[in-house]
Structure 1
């Protein structure tokens, strides 16, 4: 099984998706059950469950979508003319089949492009010779060297006819790679054919002398036009590589009853031995000084092979110099004889197989060659050559060419198989999900950050579980804050400095106060402040986007995490240490367990040395460490690569054209607020009798009934102000004045509503007692009133960009002031004051308060009453779990109290005593 792409062997994408979903559900369910059995809280289990499901999904989906992204990149490169890209496809499903088809198409297009460029080079070569001959003849006519008699004109006509024939013949050359070219066979007089070719070659003014040695009775069956093509190319090549005044000999003769031969020899320097085996290749290599494209001899060899013969270079006789090219052809070729092609595997032109024939043409398949610069070299028969370069199209973006290998596993002989090559760093799918809102550029692997977060996770797993809120939690939070401070890009900004001070102050409440709910509120608010500092968010929506970026970083940072994990594998000492430690731990547990269970003495030693960890405890510690380390790692990614939260804004509001369109609705709301204020004044001055006579409710029921509605009205007022600011025109001074007056009146009346709500809650608490929830609601209403005041200030200035941050700072200040004021002790003191004034006390509620309230209760109530609240036993239970890492000021003050437990006689009187003071 391939662990990198575990689902490659499955042939259906539907089956893969089904297995992916099923495996993710199983992993999530398994982690959830383990956490539940171990007693792990749900808010610890949930992130680990999600991480497990995402991890299984990420592992199983490897290779499922990457070919699609590679195909998109390859198609884009094909549009620019670059056909060298190949898609890595190892799966057997529909995506893999599509990737193979795209690779085949790319290879076909590359081959077709290569053939097109080869054809251009071939045409330019083949047309040059008759054009040069015609030019020489016309120059001779103009200069008066020759007279325009019938023989000369017939020569010019023959050259023109040859040009026309060459155009058709060169188009037929594209069929070479297809596998078959037909021959127009007829009886040919070899001597006449040679004389005509020599006559055409003689007008080219190359300064060579042609000698013909061909018997008059040599009659063969052949394609005369193609043999003329062979002779023209051989004579032109010999003339170009012969010295001035040199002799070119053309000879022919029978070779047994079924074959005949043709030889063209020159007196040049000959063919270099290292080039003999490549002189008939298209773009063959040779001496570059003589000119030519290197296609003439390739075409001549092709024509000979079409006839079922061959063309080869032979050594000159002893004592002679120059090159000798000898063609051996059958006297009567088969009409269906074809040109066989062995497909190349290295990007070269097809390799001819001399003499091979077929009765049916194979299917045309373009050569599978990568796009590259084609260089044609006419191989000399002696002397210099001519080189013509046809540049390949330059791709829009450079990238590595795929390495081609032949005869891979399962490949047919002669088939070109492309090695898997990444397609120019395809864009990860996560980048396309987040887009320009959260790009990632230039981030190197963060091995150090990963190891530090792992260390914080291990530290949290060791010191946090089974301890109360105290020094350990504060230390972990401070260490995490230091890591983020060192990682953040904006740690020198003023807002970042202020946010850091606020975060440390909020975190200190877990040492100063023992109330868990207060620590939760402080930590949650600290998270909002922290994400605002990391992302530099200013607006309300950007603050929300910054807060959402922390959990989303667990997904956005996966590519960086993958690169970091790969980087750790290149650090040779890391994984050996991890493997060694894991193997050693397994060996220690297995053999130590066997020896400890097999020998009582060894078992007693092991029990004394090794702490006892229950399975549930280890599971709980793992969950805690995973959540704390993972949360810090996600926050570290936000610090390294903060999202562009400033782009998360509402569309620009379009003001209404007529001011009354917004003034009328806001005016109605203001009128309703005025009517409410009048009703409140009537109830306040009318007293209990007026309220009961008008509504049928007692005053206590009246004030309790409307508190929630007034709080909702305050929140809706802030939303109304925000909407009015977006729609109200502000182009003139009159528009701005109307806006200030209308919204100022609305905010002022809202402050009256806030005061009414606080007054109602105070009356309700006086009647029914004080609780933490009621105090928190009071604090929330006060904070809303402060927001209304800030909105008033922004309305006067007509600038409110600072409002979101000011609201956040004020919220943190409220929590800090409330935490330092010890809300549980304050609530306990208010209940004690009420007991002293009325004799009524809710003892069951005081029992629910934490250690922060215990000193107040002990000092404010009689001993027998405070003892009946069961304080001594609660203090004893909490003291048993205290150590240095769980130290907390609230619990420390509680532990310092000297509260003796009740005697049996005193305890028997508690029910009667508590009943006498209970709230009615």
Structure 2
């Protein structure tokens, strides 16, 4: 992963990179779609795999383009807190790479300025403290009469005051340097006189300091130049002061000036230890002192040479330390100046104060370790925000390996087979893999969901009816995401379901880190290469020998399954699909989204009648409906026919769907009223319980009426899958109404959503254990005995779960029920209890294409 994004580093345009990225994604998508279509892969498998691979290619190529921008964002945040050590990885040659390199230079400059600022405070504080302390002590002695006010004492006080004045002057010059402005007052200057005067002043100043040296001045008496006398004096003074401080006591400091072709040259050489070539450029920085305790007396602010360079630049010259003549000690500084300052722009402070090349790192007294690049914060983090944060997740190599293992197992077991034992094995393996890495795997709710999921995964093995197996698998998926995210409300369950496919996008950064970490896990990279080359060698030489020898080919066919294109490609697609689904669920468990955020604040209504009046009206409608039902019950069929013109069967069928929908709406009414009704006083709570309790009781009667209607309709027209499923759903709604009534007694309903989810899955599991197709067949045969009517075509469409019921029929009728059907012939991975029980019935023989009289279900 670390090398692939650099494939586009050589491209010099972001636009071209974007074009190549889009082209690569489109080409990958077209190739994968074409391969899947030619191999006959189902669209529900090939489309997600294609999208995932195209997205992966895009992410792989785009990460190298966007990582410098993300690094710069993070580095800027760190710089805002005062940390200037961050550097951006800049390997590309496009506009982003150029920006990254400029950002690194800016970071280095800001780090240098920050260091200089700290040095300024430290040095100035130190330099001010020494003369101030000395001056304060001297003045206290004079004021207290401890020391007499002699000329020597006053001279000492004056020396300390002059030292403070010199420091203040240096700081003022430094301020001018920072401002980048300093006008020159140009006049004719006799160089010999200026050098003699400055040398005499420096000689006198150092005479009583214990660091006296001998000054040697050499300059032609006819050398006259145009310059600013004050600035030129400042330049010479600073150079001499620096040379004197770094020369041993009694040493010689040589000051010379002479004309050259381009102007004139000033040189100062001391007798000190000299300056190493790598340090010669740095001494011109502010506070760039290189004091040697063995040869120098210390002191100084470290500003003298920085100001000397500034003065030199103002005059249009250059200054540098060079090698002294052979056989002579010390350091030699050379200043080349024009005879007259030319017209030139004022130098920038950055150039004056930091004239070294910007690529040179900022020097430090101790060599610091290299600063690592700022880890990029994935853009996906900003996309999902606080809903789905990700912090501190280490690479999940084991989770990736487990998901890939489940995918390979599914590719071997599931394709070209019906639901059966193999499906259950894959589901259990996938569930165990996901649960092993789930954050909430030890909570009771998650464990309960896991137990129900395991039970639902057994349905493909015990039932042949797809119409019940598929809802059970969907219910298991719903339980899976609810348990992994630890949701508590109906909206959180919906968000969890939506988060499962989104986890494929949210988990891309973690997947990238995991793939990048594979090479560091033991001998992972070596093992992967060994397996790849071994399989390649086995395939090549196996094909060659199989084509060369018939016996070897027979052995190969017996050991190796059919690996044709139409067999291998679908299994590869399916392996990718299942691995991706399991990996997304695993990420959902490792880093679940915030689906159960803080409950929204609901303001109760100000007046009781605002919620009570609508509820009482609904109660009145329910009471009127129940009165109408009682009239039909007591009036009988004649009253119904006379009043509506409908038969009883038509009457009960007409209203069943509406009653079911009314039950669902009642639950919504109860939810809304419970949220808007105030429960501050005992009277509020009593009205809430009474009105909603009456509504729930009326709803239970409606549920009973709906089930009674459906029972009458089934007695008249027979039983079907849809009618049985609707019966079960209506019964489950009735159970939810009972739980709502229980919650109303305590006015606490936080447990209701999870109860509804778990009981709904439990009802589906119970329906599967009931063997619904056998139940439907049995009741239709009972109707046949009672009325002589049955829909043989419908019974023929039932699954093998219903076949054992037909053994009680006479041979002719059994042939009608089993016409056009035969045994399954499953292998052990397709083994299914329903089909296994049906096989003995199919072996009885018969089952001709009989002509059976149908009484079709309505």
Q: How does 1:85-124 map to 2 (within 5 A)?
A: 85-91=86-92, 95-96=96-97, 98-99=99-100, 102-103=103-104, 105-106=106-107, 109=110
In the alignment, which of 843, 858, 865 is matched to residue 813 of structure 2? 865
Residue 408 of structure 1 is matched in structure 2 by none
1:186 and 2:188 aligned: yes
In the alignment, which of 206, 221, 224 is matched to residue 221 of structure 1? 224
Residue 845 of structure 2 is matched in structure 1 by 901
1:543 and 2:493 aligned: yes
Give the Å deviation of 1:214.
Answer: 6.0
Residue 874 of structure 1 is matched in structure 2 by 821
In the alignment, which of 337, 341, 366 is matched to residue 335 of structure 1? 341
Give the Å deviation of 1:72.
Answer: 1.8
Q: Are the aligned partners of 2:248 and 2:272 in contact in 1 as well (CA < 8 Å)?
A: no
Compared CA separation, residues 200 and 673, structure 1 to 2 (3 A): same
Q: Are the aligned partners of 1:550 and 1:635 in contact in 2 as well (CA < 8 Å)?
A: yes
2: CA distance between counterparts of 1:147 and 1:585?
96
In the alignment, which of 412, 416, 420 is matched to residue 462 of structure 1? 412
2: CA distance between counterparts of 1:26 and 1:526?
37
SS of 1:841's equivalent in the other structure is coil
Which stretches in structure 1 are left out of the alignment for 5+ residues? 352-365, 376-398, 403-420
Give the Å deviation of 1:254.
Answer: 6.6
Q: How does 1:243-258 map to 2 (within 5 A)?
A: none
Residue 236 of structure 1 is matched in structure 2 by 241
Residue 761 of structure 2 is matched in structure 1 by 812
Q: Are the aligned partners of 1:443 and 1:560 in contact in 2 as well (CA < 8 Å)?
A: yes
Q: Are the aligned partners of 1:198 and 1:210 in contact in 2 as well (CA < 8 Å)?
A: no
In the alignment, which of 276, 296, 312 is matched to residue 304 of structure 2? 296
Q: Are the aligned partners of 1:758 and 1:778 in contact in 2 as well (CA < 8 Å)?
A: yes
Give the Å deviation of 1:681.
Answer: 2.0
Q: Are the aligned partners of 1:137 and 1:203 in contact in 2 as well (CA < 8 Å)?
A: no
Q: Are the aligned partners of 1:71 and 1:87 in contact in 2 as well (CA < 8 Å)?
A: yes
Q: How does 1:820-859 map to 2 (within 5 A)?
A: 820-859=769-808
Residue 145 of structure 1 is matched in structure 2 by 151
Give the Å deviation of 1:470.
Answer: 2.2
1:534 and 2:490 aligned: no
Give the Å deviation of 1:822.
Answer: 1.0
In the alignment, which of 411, 414, 422 is matched to residue 373 of structure 2? 422
1: CA distance between counterparts of 2:532 and 2:275?
62
1:885 and 2:829 aligned: yes
Q: Are the aligned partners of 2:274 and 2:331 in contact in 1 as well (CA < 8 Å)?
A: no
Give the Å deviation of 1:817.
Answer: 2.1
Give the Å deviation of 1:249.
Answer: 7.0
Residue 64 of structure 2 is matched in structure 1 by 63
Compared CA separation, residues 142 and 716, structure 1 to 2 (3 A): farther
SS of 2:409's equivalent in the other structure is helix
1:784 and 2:741 aligned: no
Deviations 1:419-474 (A, max 9, x none): xx632x22212222333333333332222222222222212211222223222222
Q: Are the aligned partners of 1:119 and 1:174 in contact in 2 as well (CA < 8 Å)?
A: no
Which stretches in structure 2 are left out of the alignment for 5+ residues? none
1:800 and 2:749 aligned: yes
Compared CA separation, residues 747 and 20, structure 1 to 2 (3 A): farther
Q: Are the aligned partners of 2:198 and 2:236 in contact in 1 as well (CA < 8 Å)?
A: no
Residue 670 of structure 2 is matched in structure 1 by 721
Q: How does 1:516-527 map to 2 (within 5 A)?
A: 516-527=466-477
In the alignment, which of 580, 583, 588 is matched to residue 638 of structure 1? 588
1: CA distance between counterparts of 2:218 and 2:513?
79
Compared CA separation, residues 572 and 862, structure 1 to 2 (3 A): same
2: CA distance between counterparts of 1:190 and 1:211?
17
SS of 1:87's equivalent in the other structure is coil
TM-score (normalizing by structure 2): 0.84
Residue 670 of structure 1 is matched in structure 2 by 619
Residue 358 of structure 1 is matched in structure 2 by none
1:503 and 2:453 aligned: yes
Compared CA separation, residues 812 and 400, structure 1 to 2 (3 A): farther
Q: Are the aligned partners of 1:111 and 1:369 in contact in 2 as well (CA < 8 Å)?
A: no
Compared CA separation, residues 253 and 52, structure 1 to 2 (3 A): closer
Deviations 1:343-362 (A, max 9, x none): 999x99536xxxxxxxxxxx
Q: Are the aligned partners of 1:261 and 1:326 in contact in 2 as well (CA < 8 Å)?
A: no
Residue 78 of structure 2 is matched in structure 1 by 77
Residue 202 of structure 1 is matched in structure 2 by 204
Q: Are the aligned partners of 2:254 and 2:268 in contact in 1 as well (CA < 8 Å)?
A: yes
Q: How does 1:687-702 map to 2 (within 5 A)?
A: 687-702=636-651
Give the Å deviation of 1:71.
Answer: 2.6
1: CA distance between counterparts of 2:238 and 2:3?
57
Q: Are the aligned partners of 1:308 and 1:329 in contact in 2 as well (CA < 8 Å)?
A: yes
Compared CA separation, residues 542 and 370, structure 1 to 2 (3 A): farther
Deviations 1:105-145 (A, max 9, x none): 54565566677778889999999999999999999999442
Cα RMSD for the two superposed structures: 4.7
1: CA distance between counterparts of 2:769 and 2:255?
116
2: CA distance between counterparts of 1:317 and 1:184?
39
Deviations 1:186-242 (A, max 9, x none): 132634652465246535642566767769982432433244224433553465467
1: CA distance between counterparts of 2:833 and 2:26?
45
Give the Å deviation of 1:526.
Answer: 2.0
User: Which is worse superposed, 779-788 or 749-758?
Assistant: 749-758
2: CA distance between counterparts of 1:529 and 1:158?
86
1: CA distance between counterparts of 2:169 and 2:695?
96
Q: How does 1:325-404 map to 2 (within 5 A)?
A: 333-336=339-342, 349-350=354-355
Give the Å deviation of 1:35.
Answer: 4.0
1: CA distance between counterparts of 2:269 and 2:548?
99
Q: Are the aligned partners of 1:32 and 1:49 in contact in 2 as well (CA < 8 Å)?
A: yes
Compared CA separation, residues 695 and 111, structure 1 to 2 (3 A): same
1: CA distance between counterparts of 2:123 and 2:569?
76
1: CA distance between counterparts of 2:161 and 2:94?
63
SS of 1:799's equivalent in the other structure is coil
Give the Å deviation of 1:738.
Answer: 0.6
Residue 510 of structure 2 is matched in structure 1 by 560
Compared CA separation, residues 227 and 742, structure 1 to 2 (3 A): same
SS of 1:875's equivalent in the other structure is coil
Give the Å deviation of 1:674.
Answer: 1.6
Residue 290 of structure 2 is matched in structure 1 by 285
Equivalent residue pairs, number? 838
2: CA distance between counterparts of 1:525 and 1:868?
35
1: CA distance between counterparts of 2:573 and 2:621?
53
Give the Å deviation of 1:284.
Answer: 4.6
Compared CA separation, residues 844 and 124, structure 1 to 2 (3 A): same
2: CA distance between counterparts of 1:258 and 1:610?
89
2: CA distance between counterparts of 1:317 and 1:874?
113
TM-score (normalizing by structure 1): 0.78
2: CA distance between counterparts of 1:554 and 1:89?
29
Residue 382 of structure 1 is matched in structure 2 by none
2: CA distance between counterparts of 1:807 and 1:119?
71
1:450 and 2:400 aligned: yes
Q: Are the aligned partners of 1:214 and 1:250 in contact in 2 as well (CA < 8 Å)?
A: yes
Deviations 1:598-634 (A, max 9, x none): 6555544543443323422223322332333333222
Q: Are the aligned partners of 2:273 and 2:331 in contact in 1 as well (CA < 8 Å)?
A: no
Residue 465 of structure 2 is matched in structure 1 by 515
Q: How does 1:608-619 map to 2 (within 5 A)?
A: 608-619=558-569
1: CA distance between counterparts of 2:572 and 2:688?
57
Residue 684 of structure 1 is matched in structure 2 by 633
Compared CA separation, residues 77 and 680, structure 1 to 2 (3 A): same
1: CA distance between counterparts of 2:807 and 2:261?
132
2: CA distance between counterparts of 1:865 and 1:817?
30
2: CA distance between counterparts of 1:531 and 1:258?
83
